[in-house]
Amino acid sequence: MTNNPGNNKPHRGGSARSPRRWWRSAGFAWEGLVLVWSTQPNFRIEVWATVLVNVVACLLRADLAPILLSCALVLTLEVINTSLEALTDLISPDIHPLAKIAKDTAAGAVLIASMLSVLVGLSVLGPPLWQLLGW
């Protein structure tokens, strides 16, 4: 259905339960992730940090759930931040104080999640790492 409540015509892609429509939508989402990967150096750093910390967690046999959730939050916020920056640039191509607020606060959300993810990583990985090192 479209956003117009009075219009009961289905979307062009067919039924929302259609596997074809799902794959088409997943393709658009994948294009977005490829764009973020190719244009955002911080995203690439965060992805590699995610891989590294999860490998370490597996080697230490630590609880993966908090690590995975923290990493997912950081990566998701980075993608949202990128989309918000692009939308802000489209709406306000000239420098504007409100555009700055939108961009800075979205980046701040990524920073908060990143800092707290480090704390989660230390609390989950620290004890088994200290034990392994004999500290």
Q: What is the DSSP letter of 3?
A: S
Say if CB 123 and CB 56 are below 8 A apart.
no
User: Are 49 and 27 part of one and the same domain?
Assistant: no
Predicted local confidence at residue 135, as pLDDT: 82
Range of the domain at 85: 41-133
Q: Which of 59, 58, 109 is nearest to 84 (CA)?
A: 109
User: Are 84 and 119 part of one and the same domain?
Assistant: yes
User: Are 65 and 123 part of one and the same domain?
Assistant: yes
- The predicted model scores a pTM of 0.84
Residue 82 to residue 16: CA distance in whole angstroms = 27
- Cβ neighbourhood burial of 117 (10 Å; 0-12, 13-18, 19+): buried
The catalytic site residues sit at: 78
User: Are 45 and 33 part of one and the same domain?
Assistant: no
Total domain count, the chain: 2
Predicted local confidence at residue 17, as pLDDT: 83
Residue 92 to residue 90: CA distance in whole angstroms = 6
User: Are 119 and 53 part of one and the same domain?
Assistant: yes
Average pLDDT, integer, range 93-100: 95
